[in-house]
Structure 1
Amino acid sequence: MARRLRIGIDTGGTFTDVVAIDEDTGELFTTKTPSTPADPAEGFADAARKVLRLAGADASALTAVSHGTTVATNQLLEDRLDDLGFITTEGFEFLLEIARQSVPDGYGNSYFWVKPPRIVPVHRVRTVGGRLDHTGAELRPFDEESAAAAARWFRDRGIRAIGVCFLHSYANPAHELRMREVLAREHPEAVVSLSCEVLREYREYERSVTTLVDAAVKPTMSRYLARLSGLLPAPLRVMKSNGGVLSAEEVVHQPITTVLSGPAAGALGAAYVAAAEGRRSVVTLDGGGTSTDVAVVLDGEPTLTTEGAVGRHPVKIPMIDIVTVGAGGGSIAWISPEGTLKVGPRSAGADPGPLCYGRGGTEPTVTDAHAALGRIPPHLLGGEIPLDVAAARAGVEALGAELGLSGDRAAAGVLEISAWNQANAIRRITVERGLDVRDFPLVAFGGSGPLLACRLLDLLGLPAAVIPADPGSLSAFGLLTVDVKNDYVRTHVARDAEVDLSALGAVYAELEGRAADALEREGFPPERQRFARSADLRYHGQAFEVRVAAPDGPVDDAFRAEVVRRFHDAHEALYGYCYRGDPGRHPVEWVNLRVSGIGPITRPRLRERPPGDGNPERARTGVRDVYFEGWARTPVYRRDRLARDDVLHGPAVIEEFGSTVPLHPGYQARVDAHGNLVITKEETP
């Protein structure tokens, strides 16, 4: 019988990972190829062809393709936002210049901080007459003449990507819709993003920047997805930052939703694997070639935020709460002007890559340090990429000479700094969110994620580290576990004591209607559609809100009371106090209402493995010199030969196609029922 394959392809900075699942048998096929930064579509096609060969099938076997992409993210990080204009309400042309008064790292560390350049310089801002109040009522009519003049101004200067954000358009989109009509007439080549469609939520600065980011990446994403759609004869879905996927046809209308596409897939894949073994709350660490992405999973779900940023641009869309640091395998080790050793955030990437790749790299990297210390094999991807270990050693020895250290000490120092960079990222996502990091096992994956797992257990006091099977491809596997998901929001400010329940119900009904329409376009009939409500609340006088889940069913007094109760509980958990019994002095205020429309997909089943014979030595392939506290002859094991309940004791090195686990002295690794390696510190007598 011909295979039916669903595949997930995750494009990273260094490698493109791919996983295919046979929809009839559940068999998984995983592999990876080097990324092609100059043309990511080429790496996408290479990965698809490679996994099809592995499965013994051709493109006609494909039923669907899910994709995690960094195209939008990279454009923002590299500030390639040249062809961009902004239209806003008359009198508010300096909205982007004023921005917010927040300063990175606090005023104490930022005496000389200067505001970065605005996403759109003030000379590319045009204003249009007309004004709404905060309820959406029209104070002054839309000025068609100034709107046409603005459209012609951009047309005459060849500015084609335009964001439109009028004051209070979250309450009434009429003026923005009129502006789009004018642009279509006067400047038909323009690519337009309206804030009422991108983010129908108050706070003009964040809404404006979010809309402009959407407009900036829309042309690039449209071209990229159009090319991908022509490469494979199967429906293409793209991973979104909120933990869902959406068809390529829909994503081109909301490309900003893909800005954390790849890291989101990894966090979801890690959550899925951990939950199968009963670990519902974990820290996930996705170590790639360019960076490391860290997230928290609580009760089976990665935590979400709308207070994110990509590079210097605040992006107020629902996204998995991820902290990213420049601590990947390709992160470059360098010496600061003060004479101290630094690691990252600059990366050698896939091209030219680390010194040991032999492709023209000139600076030592984290991967070079691992190679020089014997912690990774002298090849990657099962021998597909041979490594020049001598070049790696020469690079770290030259670095050490500048510091007055031996090559071994310099390489160990590079890895220690990289481990601390990752540990600090984990602290930011846990301790700074009010969580005790010692309560969370670590799920480490990605090509470089497991390399420092033992050291992270030591630095943070984590109870265990879980290394999934095929950790280098877990982000691609995560793409196969993700539901179709779209988010809708509406600002509706009202004090709880005076809230109009019928108005709340009407807003939720409208948002659910929009979500249902989108799911139907994605092929989900009404009986397969699910909706998740939530609400942002605060105490009157506070500047920011707390989001809580809202129950299904009628929007009545019981609904209102339950949401408010959840808000008090969440506020107390976050900040250590609440005003539950004092509604007179500290009234609760409703701010934003939200609905997520969800189309469930069929997830792959993780197979349990049979127990082995109790002798892990069957997996031993040899020994080599590895540096931990010093050099020692260290046994090397092939992971695919390990069986359930096998236990290995450090020092040891466990190798597989896409990743390597150096097991430090004093640690042990046990293979669980699903083939994960569970690393714990050994009991000291």
Structure 2
Amino acid sequence: MTAQNPRATPTAVQVAADTGGTFTDIGLRRADGSLSVWKVPSTPSHPDEAVIKGIRAVLEQQGVSAQDINRLVHGTTVATNTVLTREGAKVGLLTTAGFRDILAISHQARPMIYDNEVHRPAPLVPDDLIVEITERTGADGEEITPLEDSELERVAGELADLDLDVVVVSFLNAYRNSDHEDRAVSYLTGRGVAPIVSAATDVTSEMREYDRTSTAVINAYVRPKVSGYMDRLGTTVEDMGVASRLWVMQSNGGLLTPGLAGTHSARTVLSGLAGGVIGAANWARHLGLDKVVSFDIGGTSTDIAMIRHGEPDETTTGEIDSMPLRLPSVDVNTIGAGGGSIAWLDSGGGLRVGPHSAGAVPGPVAYGHGGTELTVTDAHVVLGRLGTSLLGGGFDLDYATARARMAEFAEKLGMLAEDCAEGILTVIAATMGRGIRKVTVERGIDVRASHLMAFGGAGPLHGADLIHELGMTSAVIPPLPGIASAVGMLDAPVRHDFAAPVPRENADGSGSLEDVFRTLRRRALDEMGDAGFDEERLIDARYTGQSYELTIPYTADQFAQRELLDENHEERYGFRDPDAEMELVAVRLVATVPKPDIPQARIAAGDGAAVVPKERRPVYIDGAWTDTAVYDRDALSAGTTLEGPAIIDQFDTTTYVRPDQTCRCDDAGFLHLTRR
């Protein structure tokens, strides 16, 4: 393994690689904070090939060597795609007798309450790969039915005959007492029933049997593929002579080693999404913005997250493909609305947009790759917001074909092509607005007092419309929006989360939880070493009788703990209940190793002369063609102010400014769109 803290040199650089469905983005940051970007086509069958190719390309372009990399971070979609494509391991489940159907029954929540024909995705473990064993632990952790050696011998034979890749052992109430699970794992491992045997409590030791089992099964399902990928990538990086350890982005917004990513693979399910949110949180702190909505628009979906006081909202109740994932993660609301979202007519003749997407192939009509269904991108092309090319002139757009197809579609609605294109953007803006309200208004936050951090390939195109629609304070466009997720990963700390149930005698908040926190700290030391880390103590609390908890800061003062619960409950749900009793459910320890600070790159101030647009073109705005200035973003200096309407072009995105808005460029290169 290479050094964890390599030398700092004048040419030292930080590199991040973010694997996407179409492109793998590479971001390189120098010691002065300046950034360079590189994109290479992704290689879905072997994602590491694109990662290595991109790293080598950006190093060659910048004239630095692998030995100059003092921080290398990777965001991977391997775990996510493995679940979504159902191409994971053959997993078997050993569970308490009487509970074999836990994955099939799941929980009472229905995906679509009024759809009688909707079906949940099939469990990752089919019924014929589930084995039951006679044992039982009570809800208080006391043994009810012993785990006999004869039972272990019986199930070992059954499991061995199934030819499994992984066996998950998940017993009822093991989160309170894992002795039976630990014994079973040890026995089955010794018998060699499968290459990997894991206990559910090793993945997550929290209550709710379905959620805990589902999380353990997801981890097992993706583990062989993720582990193999990490081994290959780590070996190649080391052979290149990279002076930094490879770090992997995980769902909670922190980094972990490839070794841990290989065994705790479910932690990487939201790897790519988390990078953009962490980047937005860092920019919010830098700009001094209190409430910020992270708004990342790609080709297929939009990822939305709330950031308060520079910290993103988090959750321990995420999911993937409708299956619960009981692990800490940034709280991202993903909606089916992106640049490739398809416009269509419903049975009543109404205009709808998404969630279906044209994807990268064939893509929008304007891409000229055989696409025939109109998309949000085509609407931007027809309206003149996008010119005749993308990627600095490297990708041509077919305006004529997109305009003709829009005219055909608009005729069904009795509209002009341009009015139809505006209608498409109005509909998608309403969908995106609902997504933003979900992370603001539904959490007790005034959306009008929030800023929109718009990034991704299409975020800057929609930011102006959304702050107009929702009455938000401003839209902020970072310097390199198209690779914001990769850049954000460079600002992530090394982070590990640990959790344990609150002892029943302390559930009312009385008594000390120091022993539990000491146990979690020992686990942190075992996993992270003694290099030193910061600790954050948290507690899951609720009013007695509630089904779900709020994660809040922990304090040993029982009365102060109750006040924290009341304050957070009132903020989230709009009320507090002074008559209800408090119940503490789980203890959490967040251990982080902060990264070295890198200064924010600055851009030069202008000489006071007005910025000259590189061209002017007609843009269809509010029902009329409007002569609009088009600027090159690289030509904007610190302090530049532009009056809308305006178009601002750059290599990785295009920013649109409405006629009633002003765009200001600050000294770090961020664009601020506000109402005039």
Query: Taking structure 1 as the reference length, what is the TM-score of the superposition?
Result: 0.91
Q: Which residue of 1 aligns with 2:531?
A: 525
Q: CA 1:416 to 1:148, structure 2 compared with 1: closer, same or farther past 3 Å?
A: farther
Q: 2:285 aligns with which of 255, 266, 275?
A: 275
> Where do 5+ consecutive residues of structure 2 fail to align?
1-8
Q: Which residue of 2 aligns with 1:3?
A: 11
Contact 2:509 / 2:582 at 8 angstroms: preserved in 1? no
Q: Which residue of 1 aligns with 2:391?
A: 381
> Where do 5+ consecutive residues of structure 1 fail to align?
552-557
Q: Secondary structure at the match of 1:450?
A: helix
Q: Which residue of 1 aligns with 2:574?
A: 576
**Matches of 1:44 and 1:616, distance apart in 2:** 42
Q: Secondary structure at the match of 2:454?
A: strand
**Paired residues for 1:178-197 under 5 Å:** 178-187=183-192, 189-197=194-202
Q: Secondary structure at the match of 2:428?
A: helix
**Paired residues for 1:278-289 under 5 Å:** 278-289=288-299
Q: Which residue of 1 aligns with 2:485?
A: 475
Q: Secondary structure at the match of 1:231?
A: helix
**Paired residues for 1:322-401 under 5 Å:** 322-401=332-411
Q: Structure 2: which amino acid aligns with 1:632?
A: T
Q: 1:172 aligns with which of 177, 183, 186?
A: 177
Q: Secondary structure at the match of 1:232?
A: helix
Q: Which residue of 1 aligns with 2:562?
A: 564
Q: Secondary structure at the match of 2:56?
A: helix
**Paired residues for 1:402-481 under 5 Å:** 402-481=412-491
Shift of 1:461: 0.9
Shift of 1:21: 1.6
Contact 2:34 / 2:601 at 8 angstroms: preserved in 1? no
**Matches of 2:501 and 2:562, distance apart in 1:** 17
Q: Structure 2: which amino acid aligns with 1:295?
A: A
Shift of 1:450: 0.8
Contact 1:343 / 1:414 at 8 angstroms: preserved in 2? yes
Runs of 4+ in 1 over 6 A off after TM superposition: none
Pair 1:516-2:525 in alignment? yes
Pair 1:199-2:204 in alignment? yes
**Matches of 1:10 and 1:436, distance apart in 2:** 33
Contact 1:193 / 1:212 at 8 angstroms: preserved in 2? no
Pair 1:599-2:599 in alignment? no
Shift of 1:122: 2.6
Contact 1:14 / 1:290 at 8 angstroms: preserved in 2? no
Pair 1:645-2:639 in alignment? yes
Contact 1:495 / 1:589 at 8 angstroms: preserved in 2? no
Contact 2:516 / 2:587 at 8 angstroms: preserved in 1? yes
Q: 2:47 aligns with which of 35, 40, 43?
A: 40
Q: Structure 2: which amino acid aligns with 1:17?
A: D
* Worse-matched range after superposition: 451-460 or 6-15: 6-15
Q: CA 1:497 to 1:240, structure 2 compared with 1: closer, same or farther past 3 Å?
A: closer
Percent same amino acid at aligned positions?
A: 38
Deviations 1:235-282 (A, max 9, x none): 221111111011111111111111111111111101111221210321
**Matches of 1:184 and 1:195, distance apart in 2:** 15
Q: Structure 1: which amino acid aligns with 2:524?
A: A
* Worse-matched range after superposition: 220-229 or 489-498: 489-498
Q: CA 1:66 to 1:541, structure 2 compared with 1: closer, same or farther past 3 Å?
A: same
Over the aligned positions, Cα root-mean-square deviation in angstroms equals: 2.2
Q: CA 1:679 to 1:291, structure 2 compared with 1: closer, same or farther past 3 Å?
A: same
**Matches of 1:341 and 1:286, distance apart in 2:** 24
Q: Secondary structure at the match of 2:237?
A: coil
**Matches of 1:396 and 1:153, distance apart in 2:** 61
**Matches of 1:363 and 1:633, distance apart in 2:** 29
**Matches of 2:534 and 2:357, distance apart in 1:** 42
Contact 1:331 / 1:365 at 8 angstroms: preserved in 2? yes
Q: CA 1:364 to 1:230, structure 2 compared with 1: closer, same or farther past 3 Å?
A: farther
Deviations 1:545-583 (A, max 9, x none): 2211124xxxxxx54343232112212222333344x4x
Q: Structure 2: which amino acid aligns with 1:518?
A: E
Q: CA 1:626 to 1:430, structure 2 compared with 1: closer, same or farther past 3 Å?
A: same
Pair 1:622-2:626 in alignment? no
Contact 2:277 / 2:305 at 8 angstroms: preserved in 1? yes
Q: CA 1:116 to 1:497, structure 2 compared with 1: closer, same or farther past 3 Å?
A: closer
* Worse-matched range after superposition: 135-144 or 274-283: 135-144
Q: 1:20 aligns with which of 22, 28, 34?
A: 28
Contact 1:15 / 1:289 at 8 angstroms: preserved in 2? no
Q: Which residue of 2 aligns with 1:95?
A: 102
Shift of 1:338: 4.3
Q: Which residue of 2 aligns with 1:555?
A: none
**Matches of 2:441 and 2:119, distance apart in 1:** 29
Q: Structure 1: which amino acid aligns with 2:415?
A: L
**Matches of 1:226 and 1:518, distance apart in 2:** 19
**Matches of 1:341 and 1:154, distance apart in 2:** 53
Q: Structure 2: which amino acid aligns with 1:47?
A: G
Shift of 1:669: 0.4
Q: 2:233 aligns with which of 210, 228, 248?
A: 228
Contact 1:615 / 1:646 at 8 angstroms: preserved in 2? no
Q: Secondary structure at the match of 1:501?
A: coil
**Matches of 2:597 and 2:150, distance apart in 1:** 54
**Matches of 1:671 and 1:663, distance apart in 2:** 13
Q: Which residue of 1 aligns with 2:546?
A: 542
Pair 1:679-2:670 in alignment? no
* Worse-matched range after superposition: 459-468 or 175-184: 175-184
**Matches of 2:329 and 2:318, distance apart in 1:** 7
Q: CA 1:385 to 1:46, structure 2 compared with 1: closer, same or farther past 3 Å?
A: farther
Deviations 1:325-371 (A, max 9, x none): 12111222333454333322222333333333333434332222222
**Matches of 1:114 and 1:19, distance apart in 2:** 41
**Matches of 1:164 and 1:317, distance apart in 2:** 18
**Matches of 2:410 and 2:205, distance apart in 1:** 54
Contact 1:519 / 1:599 at 8 angstroms: preserved in 2? no
Q: CA 1:400 to 1:216, structure 2 compared with 1: closer, same or farther past 3 Å?
A: same
**Matches of 2:641 and 2:148, distance apart in 1:** 74
Q: Which residue of 2 aligns with 1:51?
A: 58
Q: Which residue of 2 aligns with 1:590?
A: 584
Count of residues paired in the alignment: 662
**Matches of 2:425 and 2:583, distance apart in 1:** 49
Query: Taking structure 2 as the reference length, what is the TM-score of the superposition?
Result: 0.93
Q: CA 1:62 to 1:607, structure 2 compared with 1: closer, same or farther past 3 Å?
A: closer
